[in-house]
């Protein structure tokens, strides 16, 4: 879903589509965060969300730094969990 949302950014026929779909993608990312599903795919999704944010007028509305921080925390969690299983 997120890749399609990012691709809609370059769909010239409907420029209003990108912000609408990205809101749904951000809602899905928040739901996944609450559910506690920590895997590599979620890390990739948070990195994509941090790289392709919806343009906003205020700096406070930018969430790219938050998504990048979540991706880094997930990677540390997955890596530590992997090492704890083996040792």
Model's pTM, two decimal places? 0.77
Min mean pLDDT across 57-61, 64-68, 72-76 is at 57-61
What pLDDT was estimated at residue 48? 92
Q: How many domains does the chain have?
A: 1
List the domain range (segments joined by +) for residue 60: 2-86
pLDDT for 73-87, tens place per residue?
Answer: 988 888 876 666 555
pLDDT for 39-50, tens place per residue?
Answer: 888 999 999 999
What pLDDT was estimated at residue 14? 92
Instruction: Give the whole-angstrom CA distance, residue 46 versus residue 66.
Output: 9
Long-range contacts of 54-63 (CB under 8 A, 24+ apart): 54/18, 54/19, 54/22, 54/23, 54/26, 63/26
Instruction: Give the whole-angstrom CA distance, residue 6 versus residue 86.
Output: 37
What Rg, from alpha-carbon coordinates, does the chain have? 15
């Amino acid at each position: 879903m997120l890749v399609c949302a990012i691709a809609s950014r370059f769909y010239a026929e409907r420029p209003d589509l990108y912000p609408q779909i990205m809101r749904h993608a951000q809602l899905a990312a928040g739901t996944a965060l609450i559910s506690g599903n920590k895997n590599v795919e979620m890390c990739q999704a948070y990195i994509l969300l941090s790289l392709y944010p919806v343009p906003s007028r205020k700096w406070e509305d930018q969430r790219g730094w938050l998504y990048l921080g979540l991706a880094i925390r997930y990677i540390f969690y997955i890596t530590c969990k992997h090492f704890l299983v083996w040792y």
